[in-house]
Structure 1
Amino acid sequence: MRIALYQPDIAGNVGTIMRLAACFSIPLDIIMPCGFPASDKQLRRAAMDYGDRAETVSHANADAFFDARTEAGSRVVLLTSSGTCALHEAEFLVTDALLLGSESAGVPPDVHARVAKRVRIPMTPGFRSLNIAVAAGIALHEAMRQTGTLPE
C-alpha cells in the first residue's frame, strides 16, 4: 500500500500526508512538479519530526510514476469526487497506490484514463470535496483495514 500525490499545491497538506505515511509505514510518491519549494516552512511544520521517517519517492512526471507502478506490479486507485465506486464498496489490494490529485485541479483526463479504479468518499449531498490530507487518511485506513495491514 502507498499514497501518491499528483502535483500537489499546498505544502501543509504534503507535510501532513508525509506524517500519515510515516505513522503507517507506507511509501509516499510525489508526482512533480509541486506548487511550492521543497524547503517550504509549512511543509516542515506539518510533517514535524516525522518527515524524515517517511519514505518519499519523487517522480519527474505522471509517465515516470505509472511506469514505476507497472514495473512493481501495482495498480493505481484514484480518489476522486467523480469516482464510480464508493470507498466502502471498493476492494483494495495490498499493492495498491492510492492517488490524489492537486488541490486546485485534481488530475487531468489522461491520468484519469490510466488508473485501474476511481473511488469516491461518500459525503453529505451539496459538498464537493474533502481536504486531500483528510481524504488520504480516510482512504488509507479503509484500504489497510480491508487488506489486514493496519499496525497493531
Structure 2
Amino acid sequence: MTNHIVLYQPEIPQNTGNIARTAAGTDSVLDIIRPMKFEINDHTVRRAGLDYWDKVKLVFHDSLEEFLATVPDQRYLYLITKFADTTYSDADFSDTSVDHYYMFGKETTGLPEPFMRANPEKCLRIPMTENIRALNLSNCAALVTYEALRQQNFAGLEKSHTYAHDKLK
C-alpha cells in the first residue's frame, strides 16, 4: 500500500518543495500532473524541499488522462476541494491493501470544475472559515496525508524517537 500526493498543474515552487518534503517524510509518492509553472530544478523548489529530493518518489504525468490511467482503482482517488460536502476526516482511508491518491488542484483555480462535477463522490473538503479563499496547498497536503496515515496506524512511520545521546548510554 502506498499513499500518493497528487498535484494538478502546480504553480508555486515553494509549495511543491514543501509537499515534496512531506512526501519524503511519509514515504508517499509525489505525482505531478503537467504543465507546471516552474521546473523542479529551480532553486526555490530545491530550497523548499531542502536536501530531501533524493528521498522523494517523484512521478510526472503529462495530462490528467495519463495520470488517471495509472490509478488501478478509482474508488481510492480523492479530490480535495472546497466545493465538497464530505469532510476529509470523514473519509475512510484505512484500507492498507490498496494505494490511495489525494489530488490537489492549482493554487489559483483548484481542480478542473468539469472533472469535479463528474466525480462528486470523490470530493473531500477541509473545513475553514469564509475569511479566506483557501488554505495553503502544502498545509492541505500535509493535513490529508497525515489523516490517512493516522487511519492506517502510521504504517511504516516512527511513532517515537530516541535522542542520539540516549542511544549512547
Q: In the aligned structure 2, how far is the partner of 1:29 from the partner of 1:64?
A: 11
User: Counterpart of 1:139?
Assistant: 144
Deviations 1:57-99 (A, max 9, x none): 0001000100001xx3352101101122012212124421000
Q: In the aligned structure 2, how far is the partner of 1:106 from the partner of 1:67?
A: 21
Q: In the aligned structure 2, how far is the partner of 1:126 from the partner of 1:29?
A: 30
User: Counterpart of 1:81?
Assistant: 82
Structural RMSD (CA): 1.6
Asked whether the 8 Å contact 2:40–2:46 carries over to 1, the reply is: no
Between structure 1 and structure 2, the one with the greater Rg is 2
Residue 135 of structure 2, aligned match among 126, 130, 137: 130
Letter in 2 for 1:60: D
Asked whether the 8 Å contact 2:84–2:120 carries over to 1, the reply is: no
Asked whether the 8 Å contact 1:6–1:32 carries over to 2, the reply is: yes
Letter in 2 for 1:10: I
Counterpart secondary structure, 1:149: coil
Counterpart secondary structure, 1:46: helix
Asked whether the 8 Å contact 1:76–1:115 carries over to 2, the reply is: no
Q: In the aligned structure 2, how far is the partner of 1:23 from the partner of 1:104?
A: 26
Shift of 1:128: 2.7
Inter-CA distance 8–115: structure 2 relative to 1 (3 Å threshold): farther
User: Counterpart of 2:42?
Assistant: 40
Q: In the aligned structure 1, how far is the partner of 2:22 from the partner of 2:12?
A: 16
Asked whether the 8 Å contact 2:5–2:28 carries over to 1, the reply is: yes
Q: Pairwise mapping of residues 1-150 of structure 1 onto structure 2 (< 5 A)?
A: 1-69=3-71, 72-73=72-73, 75-92=76-93, 93-94=95-96, 95-112=99-116, 113-114=118-119, 117-150=122-155
Counterpart secondary structure, 1:68: coil
Q: In the aligned structure 1, how far is the partner of 2:120 from the partner of 2:38?
A: 26
Q: Would you identify which runs of 4 or more consecutive aligned residues in structure 1 move more than 6 Å?
A: none
* Greater mean alpha carbon deviation, residues 78-87 or residues 89-98: 89-98
Q: In the aligned structure 2, how far is the partner of 1:106 from the partner of 1:53?
A: 27
Q: In the aligned structure 1, how far is the partner of 2:24 from the partner of 2:53?
A: 7
Structure 1, unpaired ranges of 5+: none
Asked whether the 8 Å contact 2:80–2:104 carries over to 1, the reply is: yes
